[in-house]
Amino acid sequence: MSELVSLAKAYDKYFKIGAAVCPMCIQKHHDLILRHFSSITPENEMKYESIEPEEGVFTFEKADIIAALAKEMSIKVRAHAPVWHNQTGAWMFRDGDKPASPELIYERIDAHSKAICEHFNPIVYAWDVVNEATTDPEKTGDTNPIYRNSEYYKICREGFIEAAFRSMDKYSPNAQLFYNDYDEWMPNKRERIVTLIRSLQEKGSRIDGMGMQQHYFSAPDYDELKRSIEIYAGLGLRIHITELDVSTTATLGPGAKRLKPGEPGFNEYIREAMTATPEKLAKINEIYVKLFEIYRSYSDVIDCVTTWGVADDMTWLDMFGFNRGADSIKQHPLLFDENGQPKPCVYQLIDAVR
């Protein structure tokens, strides 16, 4: 096992190594971030509700903490995510006591884009312009064949996606513009994403890249991952891995029996599945090594690999899938442990490129 060097420096000739950060984790893991990462993404601080909680009222303070870190590191930010069905104030979709018109929503998107670009352009190299706009009938029950039945879609149909990209192109001409989504390596979801992207391209919208989230709740299908990278790159897009983490449930294997929410025994099943064991932690390490092997093999089209968090002490997965107030189950989905120490896979990832 090698003496540990900077993960970001080790991968400099392949792609940027990024992490989603927040003010709290910056305070706790400042030196770790500076040493091992070459790109940062605001976890929540640039989302609509955080930046514009009321129409025309902009609150940049928390995002500015992340901008200051980027300046300290002499790097730029992957900005995430102006248009998303979650974390958007209800005011966006209302016009007084009636629903907003599509035209009003387009105006609001444009005004928001202008404000955030004027504030952040100097420190942003890429925007996740629209996040998770394709349907997911297996999880949400949507019946639309392509698009998520969000409040945006109910009012604007898919026009809000084009409006968002048009505005960001106008106000941030020097940054790359990405569409970002999850389960992007699964064939059915991938087909919907490709339809969305081709529609944008046919309308003349500038879209530079595909954000492959790479949240793994089930065992990776490495062949489908490679196929997906090739398909998105074949559309003329750059690829960013944007939200990588590996749940303990991903260690169960593709043939393991899986219960669905609502089925008898689900709560007991999911708690057992999410509980860490030495064997599961070792398997997560193996998954990371294999994923990075694939990412390196496509470094001609992949420009950045970002984990959704810095270290295991702060990860959204601890409460994912549980009701508010329920006891959480500690997850270990990232490259650094709860104490900010590198896991065995980090040494292996560095050894692989030395």
Average pLDDT of the chain, as a whole number: 94
Burial of 98 (0-12, 13-18, 19+ CB in 10 A): exposed
Which residues of the chain form beta strands (DSSP E)?
16-21, 39-42, 77-84, 94-95, 98-99, 124-131, 176-181, 209-212, 215-216, 238-246, 302-307
Identify the residue with better confidence: 137 or 152.
152
Residues 6 or more apart in contact with residue 248 via CB below 8 angstroms = 273, 274, 275, 276, 280, 284, 331, 332, 333
Q: Quick one: tokens of 158? A: 């898919």
Domain membership flag for residue 135: yes
- Residue 213 included in any domain: yes
2 inside domain: no
Asked if residue 321 belongs to a domain, the reply is: yes
Domain-embedded: residue 223: yes
- Amino acid 273: pLDDT: 84
Model confidence pLDDT, tens digit, residues 144-193: 899 999 999 999 999 999 999 999 999 999 999 999 999 999 999 999 99
Are the C-beta atoms of 290 and 309 separated by less than 8 Å?
no
For residue 216, what pLDDT is reported? 96
Q: How far is CA 307 from CA 47, 97, 235, 278, 283, in A?
A: 18, 42, 24, 22, 17
Whether residue 115 lies inside any domain: the answer is yes
Q: What is the pLDDT of residues 31-84, one digit of tens each?
A: 999 999 999 999 999 999 999 999 999 999 999 999 999 999 999 999 999 999
Let me know if residue 251 belongs to a domain.
yes
Q: Which residues are catalytic?
A: 132, 243
Helix (H, G, I), strand (E, B) or coil at 57: strand
pLDDT computed for residue 131 by the predictor:
98
How many other CB atoms are found less than 10 A from the CB of residue 126? 26
179 touches 132 (CB < 8 A):
no
Q: pLDDT, tens digit, for every residue of 89-130?
A: 999 999 999 999 999 999 999 999 999 999 999 999 999 999
pTM exceeding the 0.85 threshold for the entire prediction: yes
Flag whether pLDDT at 321 surpasses 80: no
Q: Is residue 1 one of the residues assigned to a domain?
A: no
Burial of 57 (0-12, 13-18, 19+ CB in 10 A): exposed
Which range marks the domain in which residue 81 is found? 7-351
- Give the three-state DSSP class for 54: strand
pLDDT band at 281 (very low <50, low <70, confident <90, very high): very high
Check which CATH number belongs to the domain holding 131 and give it.
3.20.20.80
Tell me what the mean pLDDT of segment 9-30 comes to. Answer: 98
What is the model's pLDDT at position 1?
39
Domain count, the chain: 1
